[in-house]
Structures are given as C-alpha cells and as structure tokens.
Amino acid sequence: MCLVIRTDGAARGNPGPASCGAVLIDGARPDAFDPDAPPLIVIARALGVRTNNVAEYVGVVLALRAAQRLGAAEVDLRLDSKLIVEQLSGRWRVKDLKLRRLYDEASGTLAGFRRWTAVHEPRARNRAADALANLALDDPAAAARLMAEVAARSGLAVPLDEPT
C-alpha cells in the first residue's frame, strides 16, 4: 500500500498552545495528490504548549506511525514545512535539539518503508491538515469525534500513540 500523507502543525504563539493535523490518503486513488482527496485516516491532536516547528514534526511522526500500523510500504509526504522536507531529505542539518529526537524518530520510521518521498508544497495545498490542526486547538472533542468517524467510514481502526 502507498499512502499520500499531508501534515501540518500549529502554535498560537511560539511557543504557545499547539496542535497537529494530518490526512492519510490511499495512494492508489486517481485523485490521491489532490488537496481535497478523501482520507483513510485523519489526525487532529492538541499538543499543549510547543513551538510551531515541534508541532509540525509531531504531526509527521504521528502520521508515519499510523502509516506503519496500516502496513504501508510506500509514503509520499506532502508538507508545507520546508524545514522538515529539507531536513528529512538530508539537505539541511537539524540544529535545534528540541527537534532532534523528533527528526530521529521520523527518519528512522521512514527507513522502514520500501520507498518514501518528501515534497514541499504551498500552504494552500495543505488546507485539510491545516484545518485539522486548527480544529484540534479550537474543539478537541470535535477533533476526536472526526478522527473516529473517518476511521469508521474507512473500516480502519488505527490506535495512535500519545503525542511525542
């Protein structure tokens, strides 16, 4: 299975109340790369007080954990965080110690997939993950309900670990 994954992190203040959102889309769909393609799984999690970059990385880590649990062999990350795309691709160093542990987990998880890519896309193409991150901040109970509803509609139940 190939998954297209879009993630986003949000922090209101930097640091401030933070959250992350992600959509995991079946890569076999003809519209898999469309920003509005229907997801198999959504993630919308409040994270407490974090920086925006930490929230962005937590979104990637949680999405990769879910992809692993779904048995994905390939993942295509579509991110509006140029920092994460460049760091995961090895073009930029990870200088921030707060990000190092998250980077290590993300890159270690990616190594377990047969193939992976990370592509930077404009924020406008990441609106679904952005909306989920904002929902998690504004209404965590609604975010939890939505995660359960989408998983049930897909016939999938993917337990998520607590945020990193």
The helix-helix angle for 97-111 and 52-70 (nearest 10°) equals 20
pTM of the model: 0.94
Q: What is the mean pLDDT of residues 112-141?
A: 96
Q: What is the mean pLDDT of residues 85-112?
A: 97
Q: 54-83, pLDDT tens digit by residue?
A: 999 999 999 999 999 999 999 999 999 999
Q: What is the mean pLDDT of the chain?
A: 94
* Contact status, residue 22 vs residue 7, Cβ threshold 8 Å: yes
Q: Which helix (H) or strand (E) holds 22?
A: strand 16-26
Q: 130-159, pLDDT tens digit by residue?
A: 999 999 999 999 999 999 999 888 887 655
* Residue closest to 23 by CA, chosen among 150, 113, 112, 136: 150
Report the pLDDT value the prediction gives residue 160, as an integer from 0 to 100: 58
Q: How many residues does the chain have?
A: 164
* Contact status, residue 24 vs residue 67, Cβ threshold 8 Å: yes
Three-class secondary structure of residue 83 per DSSP = helix
Better-scored residue on pLDDT, 155 or 161? 155
For the domain 2-154, what is the CATH superfamily, name and number?
Ribonuclease H-like superfamily/Ribonuclease H (3.30.420.10)
Report the pLDDT value the prediction gives residue 27, as an integer from 0 to 100: 98
* Contact status, residue 53 vs residue 96, Cβ threshold 8 Å: yes
The answer on pLDDT for 162 being more than 60 is no
Q: What is the mean pLDDT of residues 32-52?
A: 96
How does residue 11 score in pLDDT terms, banded at 50, 70 and 90?
A: very high
Report the pLDDT value the prediction gives residue 161, as an integer from 0 to 100: 55
